[in-house]
Structures are given as structure tokens and as C-alpha cells.
Amino acid sequence: MTSVPSPAPGRELSNPPSDGISNIRFSNHTDHLLVSSWDKSVRLYDASANALRGEFFHGGPVLDCCFHDDSSGFSASADNTVRRLLFSSNKEDILGRHDAPVRCIEYSYAAGQLITGSWDKTLKCWDPRGASGQDRTLVGTYPQPERVYSLSLVGNRLVVATAGRHVNVYDLRNMSQPEQRRESSLKYQTRCVRCYPNGTGYALSSVEGRVAMEFFDLSEASQAKKYAFKCHRKTEAGRDIVYPVNAIAFHPVYGTFATGGCDGYVNVWDGNNKKRLYQYSKYPTSIAALSFSRDGRLLAVASSYTYEEGDKPHEPDAIYVRSVNEIEVKPKPKVYPNPLA
């Protein structure tokens, strides 16, 4: 174990979006990377080849995107539309609309449905197999207590985080009402929510440099395991500076996770052992989004000013793809005097 400072922040992708990056996602099958941006575009990169493979332009800033399969994806746009993107033909069509900008989008392989959350305080489920046109594709609309800020899926569970620190947990098989209605354990606005890959709970980050680790199981034993920790802070001249935690990404193999904050740092944590495993060297500006590739060997980092301090000059938006060393993400169990494993 050497603590040599990692020399580079990873390979920077050429042809980055020209404005803020709202989300980046690796495909489940290849090393393709889907990127949505405030420059009204969705771009498809081949991360391993560092090549731009497709570009789609929308009527408004794109706030989120996700893959359907390797030949198509979806995007959520600030022009209230939910769109389907066909990579092979570079065509797109409108799947439906919300009444306000669509903030986040997820595709559930379990339900075969697309789920979108919007600032119109609703969640909508879509069946992308239907012909285009709202009336054919819309499966249901589910009112939320507040504007939806973040969504995450694991299996049939859906976690919805909204303004006002509400957290609703749904079972996709019965969307009529939330399985659980919760309030965020953190005192400040929710930035990001991501489910554990093992499906037992979720991590939730706030604008105040904190991440809460929560569990679905409501039994006392399970709830006793929940906790919150501070991160992405620094002290400068005796003054504490606390940064928003914009992004959480779980490692698909080890279940450890990376967080990205407005301080430009990416930290890797081991939630079970309550340890920080690694900190990457500082990126030029805020970390807007993170994504591990399907095998966890690559980590895409969107270094892009997230507008936390309003309109101001900032570093150019960039996407870095770094190869992940096992030591950076593998949980470190205690050393056993009598090594078992």
C-alpha cells in the first residue's frame, strides 16, 4: 500500500459538453457513457475509446439521462419533455411530458418501465414499448409532497427524494402509494439518493456536507445500524467550510461508494466498516456526477460547476474517466491474527 498521490485525475474525454453537466451514466453492458448537459444536449461516448458516438439536441437543458439498452436511452429535459433516444439512427422521439422541468429519470429492468420525477411534484411511470404519444406510454402519475430532486432504484424498490426533505419508498409493483414515507435524517436539502446494490437501504446526501446511510427494514435491529457522517468540508482560517455532496455512486462489485462534492473531491467510502478508503486528488471544480462502469473498473467523474454560488466564472466542464484500482474501492476488513479469507 503506497500513498503515492495519483498522478492524473484520469483521462479527460474529448468533446465535452459546452455547459454544466447534469448527469453521467455508464451502460450496463459496455463502456459507453451517456452524458446529459445544460447545453441542451445528450452525448454518447465510448469511454474506453475516448470517442463521441452520438449527440442529441433538445429544446431545453437536459437534467438527467439513462440507458434503456445499448441501442437506446432516455432523457429528462427542462422543457418538460421525456424523450427516447435511438443511438443507432440518431433519432429521438418524445415519450411524454410533465407540467414542469423533469429533474430525474430511471429505467427499471425489473418493471420494464421508465420512471421520471419532476418539479411539478409528480412521479410518472412510462411504458417505453408503447408507440410514442403520452396517452399510450403513460402508465401512471403519482403525486409527491414536493418537487422531486433525486430518484434511485434497486430491484423493485424505488426511493424518491424531494424538496422539503421528504423521502418516499415505493414498491414498483404497487405504485398506488408509498411503501414508506420518511423524512430525511439530515437537516438540509437533499442532493442525491442512491440505493445500496444489495437492496437493503440507501445513501442520501445533503447540501450540508453530510451523507446518511439508511435501511429499508423498519425493525429496530436494522434501524439501529443507520448513521450519518460528515464529508466534503474543510477548515480555513478557523472557519468551517461545508460543501454540498452532489453525487453518490456505488461500486457494483464491492458495494463501497464514491461521493463527489462541490469541493472538487471524490471520496471513496466503506459504509460497512465506516471507513474512508480513498480520496482522489482534487478536480478543477465541483463534482457534478459520478458513475462506475458495469464491472467497477472505470469511474467517470463529471467535474462541472453546479451553480451553487450562482452565475460566476468557473473552470471548463470536463469528464474524466479513471481506471479504478482495486485497493481504492475494496473494503478493508480488519486484519485477522489468523487469516481466514
Binding to other proteins in span 193-232, by CB under 8 A: 207-210, 221, 224-225, 227-232
Q: Smallest distance, Å, CB 166 to other proteins? A: 8
* Candidate residues 306, 318, 319, 320; the one interacting with other proteins per rule CB under 8 A: 306
* Candidate residues 26, 107, 142, 149; the one interacting with other proteins per rule CB under 8 A: 149
Q: Which of 277, 289, 276 is nearest to 321 (CA)?
A: 289
Minimum CB distance to other proteins smaller for 91 or for 276: 276
Q: Smallest distance, Å, CB 246 to other proteins? A: 8
Minimum CB distance to other proteins smaller for 52 or for 197: 197
The residues near 7 (Cβ < 8 Å, ≥ 6 apart) are none
User: Does residue 119 interact with other proteins by CB under 8 A?
Assistant: yes
* Candidate residues 188, 253, 297, 314; the one interacting with other proteins per rule CB under 8 A: 188
What distance in Å separates the CA atoms of residue 154 and residue 40, rounded to the nearest whole number? 29
* Candidate residues 127, 146, 171, 179; the one interacting with other proteins per rule CB under 8 A: 146
Long-range pairs for 90-96 at CB < 8 Å and ≥24 separation? Answer: 90/54, 90/55, 90/56, 92/56, 92/58, 93/132, 94/132, 95/126, 95/128, 95/132, 95/134, 95/137, 96/124, 96/126, 96/134, 96/137, 96/138
Binding mask 228-267 for other proteins (x = CB under 8 A): xxxxxxxx---xxxxxx-----------------x--x--
User: Does residue 156 interact with other proteins by CB under 8 A?
Assistant: no
What does DSSP say about strands 138-143 and 122-126: parallel, antiparallel, or unpaired? antiparallel
Minimum CB distance to other proteins smaller for 69 or for 93: 69
Piece of 39-47, 90-98, 102-110, 168-176 that binds other proteins (CB under 8 A): 102-110
What distance in Å separates the CA atoms of residue 34 and residue 32, rounded to the nearest whole number? 7
* Candidate residues 40, 98, 157, 191; the one interacting with other proteins per rule CB under 8 A: 191
Q: Smallest distance, Å, CB 244 to other proteins? A: 7
Minimum CB distance to other proteins smaller for 138 or for 163: 163
* Candidate residues 51, 57, 187, 316; the one interacting with other proteins per rule CB under 8 A: 187
- Contacts with other proteins by CB under 8 A: the residue count is 86
User: Does residue 181 interact with other proteins by CB under 8 A?
Assistant: no
User: Does residue 273 interact with other proteins by CB under 8 A?
Assistant: yes
User: Does residue 32 interact with other proteins by CB under 8 A?
Assistant: no
Cβ-based neighbour number of residue 210 at 10 Å: 23
Residues in region 37-66 near other proteins by CB under 8 A:
38, 61, 63
Piece of 47-55, 124-132, 197-205, 279-287 that binds other proteins (CB under 8 A): 279-287
Q: Smallest distance, Å, CB 14 to other proteins? A: 25
Piece of 87-95, 122-130, 172-180, 273-281 that binds other proteins (CB under 8 A): 273-281
Minimum CB distance to other proteins smaller for 11 or for 225: 225
User: Does residue 295 interact with other proteins by CB under 8 A?
Assistant: no
What distance in Å separates the CA atoms of residue 228 and residue 213, rounded to the nearest whole number? 6
